[in-house]
Amino acid sequence: MAATIVMLGAGNVATHLSLAFQKIGYSIVQVYSKTQASASQLANLLHTAYTTDIKLVFPTADIYLYALADDALCELILRVDFRQGLHIHTAGSIPLSVFGNKFERFGVLYPLQTFSKVKPIDISNVPFFVEGNSQDSEQEILAVASQLSATCVCVNSEERLKLHIAAVFACNFTNYLYGVAQNLLANTSISFEVLKPLILETAHKVEHALPIDAQTGPARRNDMKTIQKHTEALKNPTYKMLYKMLSDSISAKYSL
């Protein structure tokens, strides 16, 4: 008989993990979300039941997978009154201790990837980081993760927090800077499309070289004339501040 999962959450991570688990033979027996729209959308995709009332969550599932925003996760755990099963959250920055001593078996299954509902992702290429409240729980979660991906690593909450911060720099901040670049070109005849080969080449470069060795640009070569010219041309004060802060940081790094 297939192991059963209740998915607590219906956002990007919940959607991708639900589909991935269903694909490898797990039975997603129920979806919980605070809003009917999100709960029903994911439940319909999975052809399963849903609820918006935490008191109506099935109490006998094998796994309860919490894929929620950090604040929602902490708040929901306080309201959960079903105790059996393996309780797993997927957050990078929330420690294992968020579960307290409420459950006998609990842990973390953190997928290191950016997820959007509209973009398919090959889960088998996603690294998963695992932690459990006991050796048995950790090995159980590791066994589950290993069915999804070839890269599964046990890390503690402190290491996972550092990893999450690193991911924010590598992904979220980088994407924001793509948006800055797009906005800078918005009032010109130049399309953002022309930057995409540069973006892709920059990403591919770190497959073959360390970031410290791959750095280029005016700040790397301490080209103060170009930096001043760029700074004077930037009219948006936020962008001007970002440019100066990043340039100063890069210059300081390579002047050591």
Rg (CA), the chain: 22
Nearest to 48 by CA among 24, 67, 29, 63: 29
Alpha helices in the chain (DSSP H): 12-23, 36-46, 70-79, 135-148, 157-167, 174-185, 196-205, 211-214, 224-233, 237-254
Q: What is the pLDDT of residues 187-211, one digit of tens each?
A: 899 999 999 999 999 999 999 999 9
Q: What is the DSSP string of 53-89?
A: -GGGS-TT-SEEEE---HHHHHHHHHH-----SEEEE
Residue 216: per-residue pLDDT: 96
Residue 81 pLDDT > 90: no
Share of the chain above pLDDT 90, in %: 95
Please state, rounded to an integer, the average pLDDT across all residues of the chain.
96
Rounded distance, CA 117 to CA 13, Å?
8
Q: Which two tokens stand for residue 162?
A: 């550092």
pLDDT attached to residue 247: 98
Residue 170 has pLDDT above 80, yes or no: yes
C-alpha to C-alpha distance for 104 and 83, rounded to whole angstroms: 8
Predicted confidence band of residue 118 (pLDDT cuts 50, 70, 90): confident
Tens digits of residue pLDDT in 86-117: 999 999 999 999 999 899 999 999 999 999 98
Q: Which residue has the higher pLDDT, 255 or 62?
A: 62
Lowest mean pLDDT among 1-5, 31-35, 62-66, 143-147: 1-5
Name the packing angle between helices 237-254 and 224-233 (round to 10°): 170
Distance CA 63, CA 102 (A): 15
pLDDT at 1 over 80: no
Whether domain 4-155 has CATH 3.20.20.70: the reply is no
Confidence of residue 256 (pLDDT cuts 50, 70, 90): low
Query: Distance between CA 38 and CA 27 in Å, rounded?
Result: 19
Output the furthest CA–CA distance in the chain (Å, rounded): 69
Mean pLDDT for 124-133 is 98
User: What is the model's pLDDT at position 255?
Assistant: 86
At 173, list the tokens. 């901040």
Domain locations in the chain as residue ranges:
4-155, 160-254
CATH fold of 160-254, please? N-(1-d-carboxylethyl)-l-norvaline Dehydrogenase; domain 2 (1.10.1040)
Residue 107 to residue 105: CA distance in whole angstroms = 7
Whether residue 64 is predicted with pLDDT greater than 80 in this model: the reply is yes
How confident is the model at residue 24, as a pLDDT? 96
Q: Which of 33-37, 99-103, 126-130 has the lowest mean pLDDT?
A: 99-103
Question: Matching CATH topology for 4-155 and 160-254?
Answer: no
* CA pair distance 87, 218, nearest whole angstrom: 50
Indicate if the alpha-carbon torsion angle 113, 142, 44, 125 is positive or negative.
positive
